[in-house]
Amino acid sequence: MLDPSRMPAHVACIMDGNGRWANERGLKRTAGHEQGEQALFDTVDAARELGIGWFTVYAFSTENWKRPPEEVKFLVNYSRVILDRRRQELHDRNIRIRVIGRRNWRVPRGVSKRIELAEELTRHNTGLTFTVAFNYGGRAEIVDAVRAIVAEGTAPGKIDERTIARHLYDPDMPDPDLLIRTSGEERISNFLLWQIAYSELVFSDTLWPDFGREPLIAAIAEYQARDRRFGKI
């Protein structure tokens, strides 16, 4: 049972294991990503029903460009298809869509256009904020923040942690309370490096295509059993 008074405000998720899920079934890796789409939207729905305010997923990293060209092509095109297919449904559920990542670097116009459409359509929604990290890298995000701060001519002595936070891709996004990675891997892989300084990390053995409501609840239960001290005693 979850304690409603100790729900995480922001849950972030590294969706891992799509390829292995497909391999185990003798299917192409792309079939794993397709099943992963279903898992993703089941999880978004569960997060919304649980009253979580922010849910963020790692859909495509700056390193994912190094995958075989057919898989890169599939993932990039699939993101466009998903945004087209799910935009209205998410809007109907009062979900606000946001995308973080390098927008104007390598991203095909068709995808950036869909991102703008989805963000625009759902801009005023007041339910869950669903953030998709696409063409995202945590180090790239910090580099981009530093570039923007320097470009503004800020004096070095005026730069503090809040200055950096204000220049991240989405300055409104609260730091995640809980970061989940699926598939038994225990790495951060360049995800939200600045924002996870004090996040609780939960590693789930479930492969992403099998994720959904129950594994999300199990991860939150594990989070609620932790003692968060933020450096205090």
Residues in 195-224 at the binding interface with ligand FPP, rule: CB under 6 A: none
Strand 200-203 relative to strand 178-181, pairing: parallel
Q: How far is CA 185 from CA 97, 202, 205, 220, in A?
A: 27, 11, 8, 18
- Verify binding: residue 40, ligand FPP, rule CB under 6 A: yes
Total binding residues toward ligand FPP, as defined by CB under 6 A: 17
Enumerate the β-bridge partners of residue 203: 181
CB closer to ligand FPP out of 37 and 170: 37
16 is catalytic: yes
String of contacts with ligand FPP for each residue 108-147, x by CB under 6 A: ------------------------x-x-------------
Enumerate the β-bridge partners of residue 129: 54, 96
Give the closest residue to 46 by CA, choosing from 213, 231, 203: 213
125 is catalytic: no
Question: What is the CB-side half-sphere exposure of residue 223 using CA atoms within 13 A?
Answer: 29
**Locus of tokens 């995800």:** 191
From 74-82, 116-124, 164-172, 212-220, give the range in contact with ligand FPP by CB under 6 A. 74-82
- Verify binding: residue 17, ligand FPP, rule CB under 6 A: yes
Binding site for ligand FPP (CB under 6 A): 15-20, 33, 36-37, 40, 59, 64, 75, 79, 82, 132, 134
